[in-house]
């Protein structure tokens, strides 16, 4: 790897990828929010305010918790994408925040909002596991 910055053309390509990913994540956030507003009873067609069976209540709870989990993940992804877009603006996108080397195109293809090269990310994950 090298320290060479990405070209304006490359930055524009990644910007478009990031904008598309942000739009998809935001769409999913909106869908989850709508589902949460409607509530499980409304979406299932049940008009009563109580579940008929304890298992229904458990299913409703699991569904709500799953939605919250996905909502949090999507919101974190949008934050990461926004930070990546800021790095594009600063022309620091594609440069590892740890070692300063260029992040490989393969890594950016898989995780376009990556902040670290594979080697530094691997090392950081190893340190987390040791704690």
Each residue's pLDDT, cut to its tens digit, for the chain (131 residues) gives 456 889 999 999 999 999 999 999 999 999 988 888 876 555 555 545 555 666 666 677 787 788 889 999 999 999 999 999 999 999 999 999 999 999 999 999 999 999 999 999 999 999 888 87
Q: What is the pLDDT of residue 2?
A: 53
DSSP string, 50-72: S-SSHHHHHHHHHHHHHHHHHHH
Which residues fall within 8 angstroms of residue 127, CB to CB, at 6 or more apart?
none
Residue-level pLDDT at 65: 86
Considering the entire predicted model, what is its pTM?
0.78
* Boundaries of every domain in the chain: 8-94
């Amino acid at each position: 790897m090298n320290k060479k910055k990405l070209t304006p053309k490359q930055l524009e390509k990644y910007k478009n990828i990031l904008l598309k990913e942000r739009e998809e994540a935001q769409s999913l956030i909106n869908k989850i929010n709508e589902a949460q507003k409607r509530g499980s009873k409304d979406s299932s067609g049940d008009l009563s305010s109580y579940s008929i069976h304890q298992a229904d209540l458990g299913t409703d709870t699991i569904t709500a918790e799953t939605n919250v989990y996905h909502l949090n993940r999507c919101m974190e992804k949008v934050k990461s994408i926004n930070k990546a877009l800021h790095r594009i603006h600063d022309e620091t996108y594609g440069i590892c925040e740890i070692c300063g080397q260029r992040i490989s195109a393969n890594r950016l293809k898989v995780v376009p909002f990556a902040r670290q090269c594979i080697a530094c990310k691997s090392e950081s994950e190893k340190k987390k596991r040791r704690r």
